[in-house]
Amino acid sequence: MLDVGEPLTRNASVAATELIRQAIIDGRLEPGRRLKEEELARELGISRTPVREALLMLQAEGLVDASPNRGATVRSHTAEGLDDLYQLRALLEGYAARRAAGRLTEQGLADLRASCGRFETLLEKEETELRELVRENMVFHEAILQGAGSGRLASMVRKVIELPLVYRSYIWYSPEQQRISGHYHQQITNALEARDAERAELVMKEHIFEARDHLLAHWRELESSE
């Protein structure tokens, strides 16, 4: 489940948090999975105390749910809940793109172009690690948040975007859908370079709603098969 590698040498709770978070993000710990402190501690080779602290941190991030009866579990969602999350994300990131159109520096625009280039290179590779695409996608969206110049807005967006959902949507993307995602990045960057705030906001919303529709279609299939 958890690829620990060398024994944990850094602060144990921080290291445990990172390892468990990554396992949730890439799907090795699936939604609804119970997270048993003793089992995790054994796999990580540490005591239960830092594992307990890690689960509390992940609960604060919204990746883990905790209840008196079931203990800690990987957070799961309904289709309705996912739709709500993506509606909020579209509003917030659309507004971020609008703000960024008038605030991005030349270096910020160059960073976006570089991200688009790296994304395209990953798509052309015969074998690309999915997490590389997810990471580059997050780099692109983070650069726009930074360019928007609002710490409050960035904080709100980060609370709405849940990495496991981003990762899950990419798992279900066909190569063509991955290319469409890269095309959206290019179009958003073009609008930002043109300082066209209205178009930047519109294309960003389209990008997020396209991802939402794809994710919901597969999520409903999973719900109906259970």
Cα–chain center distance at 101: 23
* Mean pLDDT, the chain, integer: 88
Yes or no: is domain 79-225 CATH 3.40.50.2300? no
Residue 1 has pLDDT above 90, yes or no: no
Residues 40 and 51 sit within 8 Å (Cβ to Cβ): yes
Residue 125's SS3 state is: coil
Residue 208 Cα distances to 37, 57, 60, 111, angstroms: 36, 27, 25, 21
Phi, psi torsion values for 116, nearest 5 degrees:
-60, -40
Convert the pLDDT of each residue in 86-115 to its tens digit.
999 999 999 999 999 999 999 999 999 999
Q: Find all residues with CB under 8 Å of 49, minimum gap 6, and list them.
A: 13
Convert the pLDDT of each residue in 52-69 to its tens digit.
999 999 988 778 999 887
* pLDDT tier for residue 9 given thresholds of 50, 70 and 90: very low
Packed helices 151-160 and 130-148: angle between N→C axes, nearest 10 degrees: 150
Q: How far apart are CA 57 and CA 130, in angstroms?
A: 25
Q: Domain 12-74 belongs to what architecture?
A: Orthogonal Bundle (1.10)
Q: Where are the domains of the chain?
A: 12-74, 79-225
Secondary structure of 15-54 as H, E, C letters: HHHHHHHHHHHCCCCCCCCECCHHHHHHHHCCCHHHHHHH
Q: What is the pLDDT of residue 226?
A: 60
Q: How far apart are CA 217 and CA 226, in angstroms?
A: 15
Torsion of CA 46, 52, 55, 57, to 10 degrees: -100
What does DSSP assign to residue 128?
-
Mean pLDDT of 61-89: 87
Q: Find all residues with CB under 8 Å of 192, minimum gap 6, and list them.
A: 97, 100, 101, 104, 109, 112, 144, 147, 200
Q: Where are the alpha helices (DSSP H) in 75-225?
A: 79-101, 106-124, 130-148, 151-160, 163-171, 175-193, 197-225
Mean pLDDT of 196-206: 98
